[in-house]
Every structure is written in structure tokens, then in C-alpha cells.
Amino acid sequence: MIYSQLSSDLWAIRLKDGDDILMSLRRFAESKGVRAGLLEGIGSLKKVRLGYYDFESRKYSWQAFEEGMEILNLSGNVSTKDTAYIPHVHVTLGRKDFSTLGGHLDDGSLANMVEVFVRKLPGELVKAHDEKIGLNVLQLSRKL
């Protein structure tokens, strides 16, 4: 992974061939102390594991794809849970035949070349497990 700092709270990152996308983003957030952040990116990957969360069963379905695909959109956030940095990333992917697929990006998804912008937000975003939903969700302080 290589990067440039564009301002005090914004970085451009380039992941190289074979870099694990989530592991790289996690390592970067930790190294820069990004405890609340936004992620946005594009690029290409050669292997991906995608998840879909079913709210009825409260379980993820996972599927792996081992083919080159364009990352049409990569978006997400960075938060923390306990002492861990958590990049939460969703992707929309384009195939060679111009069809698309997408979902929740999982560990083991490998870059061909991925460019991601990381913006550090002030403060901290914290996640905790929500029993009703069955997921780790952001803990926010106000209601309307």
C-alpha cells in the first residue's frame, strides 16, 4: 500500500496487486488514528467475498468470486469496537460482460489495483452489538 496525505484529514491510498482490501484499510486507519472516517474508492480486484445480511434470519449469506472485476463504487465508514478499528465497506462490482453485483465486502478480498480516499472525521464512531437487529451498529447520542 502506498499513500499521499492531501490535507490534515484526507489521504489517497493505492492498494497493489494481492493486497487484502479490508486488512489494508484497517491497518491504515489504525496507523493514522482514524477512529471515525469515510471511505470512497474505485479500482479493480481479482478475488472478492461478498455478504448479504438477511434481517429475517439475522444471518449473513456469503459468496466468493474469483474473477477480475471493476470496482464501480466502494463506500463505507471507519469506526471502532472495543479497541479494534472497523472499516465497514460495501462495493458495487462490474463484470467483463457488463453485469453488476454487490454487497458487504469481507476479509480475503484481494486487489488488482484499488484507489481509496480516507477522510478522518472529528470525534469517534463506536459500534456495539444490537440484539434486536443482530448486528454491530453505530452508537449515536441523539434522537429526533
State pLDDT tens for residues 67-122.
999 999 999 999 999 999 999 999 999 999 999 999 999 999 999 999 999 999 99
Say if residues 127 and 80 touch (Cβ distance below 8 Å). yes
* CA 18/CA 137 separation, integer angstroms: 30
Identify the pLDDT of residue 69.
98
Return the CATH architecture of domain 2-138.
2-Layer Sandwich (3.30)
pLDDT tens-digit series, residues 75-90: 999 999 999 999 999 9
User: E strand or H helix at 27, and its extent?
Assistant: helix 21-32
pLDDT of residue 127: 97
pLDDT 10s digits, 31-50: 999 999 999 999 999 999 99
* Mean pLDDT computed over 52-68: 96
- Domain borders along the chain are 2-138
pLDDT of 122:
97
Tell me the longest C-alpha to C-alpha distance in the chain.
46
